[in-house]
Chain A
Amino acid sequence: MGERTRERVLAAAAALERLADRPLKFMEVCGTHTVSVYRSGLRSLFPEGLSLVSGPGCPVCVTAQEEIDSLIRLSAMEKVIVATYGDMLRVPGSSTSLAEARSSGASVRIVLSAAEALALAMDTPNRIVVFAGVGFETTAPATAAVVLQAARQNVENFLVLNLHKTVPAVLETLASDPELALDGFLLPGHVSTILGLSPYLPIPEKYNLACVVAGFEPDQIMAGITLLALQKRSGVFSVQCAYREAVRPTGNPHARELLETVFEESDSNWRGLGLLPRSGLRFRSAYSAFDARIRLGISDVPAREPAGCRCGDVLAGRISPFGCPLFARACSPETPVGPCMVSSEGSCSAAYRYGRGEPS
């Protein structure tokens, strides 16, 4: 497999060399793409005219500062255990992080799934387990499924701090940003397995932008970028799928049904992008008993991002990680200032681990 993958990568690089005779600017909106591009060294193969900027594709990173603070406040409440994916632990809040809160006595457990958080709740009936529901359409159905299970089994001490966000609306925001001036999107493979292709259709139609769903292997990413460049060259824009082995045009109706049963569309607060309409999920009233905000009476308090931190600009594609004055100086994986350096899928973390030394 190795040699053929390499040949395909190099063939795509040669094709891009020809196609990038004028400047091309694409955005990837999935943290797994970001890491794969850096880790496999693809950036060194891009022709000069091609730039691939990272968008808001890391779920931990796009969680707003106010939301992080709410989660930390919950962890300090009596009887509460916060159950979270490990990446959230070190994200700096306004005054502290979950990891620091844990050192000072807050109950915080790392879980690998929503189901594990539910199991924890069932094992500790005298405590209230709050699951930090972070992620896009890929992880939200799993949260929904677990909420339905908790409802069936009458588990009353399992709550969710719902931080889930949805992808299509944010793409439209980015597509219409004249400063960003994108030529197209490398669309997320995982999210598309759930959504299918139709939610992306307005982007080529309304904004004349190229759209390609790509897989995560280096040759799949290079093929996806080549297709984007070809669309741009032809001037005919559409949503193409270059990840047919996993993505069906209709997506995964069962997962979407789970989502629609438990959640409804809502506005959502994104780090760097602010409050965006129709870009999040909130509990339907039938399931509000699982909503940690309602049950524990917590609401987000306006917060400022860490001084000097440009994570918001990085997430919105306005600057690259190298454009942040803190990058690799005050901010490194050992002493992260913002979430993009904390999360393993964050673009600053990937740029730090694999991309330093490259011209920015």
Chain B
Amino acid sequence: MKPISLSQGSGGRQSQRLVSAILEATGETPDFPLEDCAFLEKGLAMTIDGYTVSPLSFPGGHIGKLAVCGTLNDLACRGARPLFLALGVIAEEGFDEDELLGYLGDAAGICRQIGVRIVTGDTKVVPKGQLDRLVLTTAGIGKSSLPKTLGIQSIRAGDSLLLTGPIGLHGATIAALRYGLESEGLASDCAPLWETIEGILDFDGLRAIRDCTRGGLATVLCEWAESSGLGMEIEEAAVCVPAPVASVCDLLGFDPFHLACEGCMLIAVSPEETEPVLDRLRQSKYGEFASRIGIVTEKHPRWVTLNTRFGGSRILDMPVGEILPRIC
């Protein structure tokens, strides 16, 4: 008996280990390094994600919005235009049907906006007490027409690291609600980023994109460093941490680099195309605050370093242990 711990769901190193154990148990040998979605053939991309968040509804979104944005963003990260979605609903006996339909109606609206169709689905109801209200699962299919594959294997030393927006908004919003903190000015950044990403796909220098969900920006940076064998050097002052996020972190002892984002992506791009990509991002719907936050380097291979806003430098690591369970 090996009880699964909550920290294995936090998106950090312990989650990585659970995923490896599952791969071993299934005997599947996917293409490494693992990315947000898998390519099947001829640019066809597929992904799946389960969603469990408490509370179900929060400033800036709800479980329905989260469930479509998360999956659509996982496709967008690899340059695949999202086309089809499958939706699984598991509800607890007694859950309000109107509330469910409200979430799903909004979710479908987001899909329609970017031309995605929900084509298949499933519903289950479990007896009261066997589930906390509602769990959604979405699987997505998309198509990439890029001549090359975006991903970690394309990252080179000297590349710029860009961020499409501020960090920590989703995680801080959920944390503030859970701990009963004043959350004025705080809202989840949950958003469908396909249009933002589509606008930069024609740049040849684009290397890799990843959304900074569970485990936050730090986790993505560490995964990139460890999988590419390169170092990442980040300027803390260039990373936008909104004031309400910083104060939630101060109060609860969280690191904003470890908090989940649901509408913010990390992008690696060649040095030559850094400025034009940034310009394009800043004109896009969710990219107004895009910034260059660091570079890929051959120094300190496999480590992420942070040049702090006080002029010092230190390493930046993935979160260890559970930060805040059930956030997305």
Interface residues of A (CB under 8 A from B): 2, 5-6, 9-10, 13, 38-45, 218-219, 332-334, 344, 352-358
Contacts and interface: CB of A to CB of B under 8 A. Distances in A.
A311 B308 CA distance: 28
A334 B314 contact: no
Contacts of B253: 344
B305 A357 contact: yes
B320 A42 contact: no
A332 B320 CA distance: 9
Nearest to A5: B310
Given A2-B237, A357-B300, A39 B311 contact: no
Nearest to B307: A41
A40 B320 CA distance: 19
B312 A41 contact: yes
A2 B13 CA distance: 32
B315 interface: yes
Interface in B215-261: 237, 253
Nearest to A13: B311
A309 to B, nearest CB: 19
B311 A6 contact: yes
A6 to B, nearest CB: 5
B227 to A, nearest CB: 18
A6 B310 contact: yes
Interface-centre pick from B14, B310, B312 (highest chain A CB count, 10 A): B310
B310 A42 contact: yes
A227 to B, nearest CB: 18
10 contacts: A6-B310, A41-B313, A218-B308, A218-B310, A333-B320, A333-B321, A353-B317, A356-B315, A357-B300, A357-B305
Interface residues of B, number: 21
Contacts of A352: 317
A41 B306 CA distance: 8
Contacts of A5: 309-310
Contacts of A219: 310
Nearest to A42: B312
Interface string B288-328: 00000000000010010111111111110100110000000
B309 A45 contact: no
A2 B237 CA distance: 9
B71 to A, nearest CB: 29
Nearest to A90: B321
Contacts of B303: 356-357
A355 B309 CA distance: 16
A218 B7 CA distance: 31
B321 A334 contact: yes
A253 B101 CA distance: 61
A2 B312 CA distance: 13
A20 B203 CA distance: 51
Contacts of A38: 314
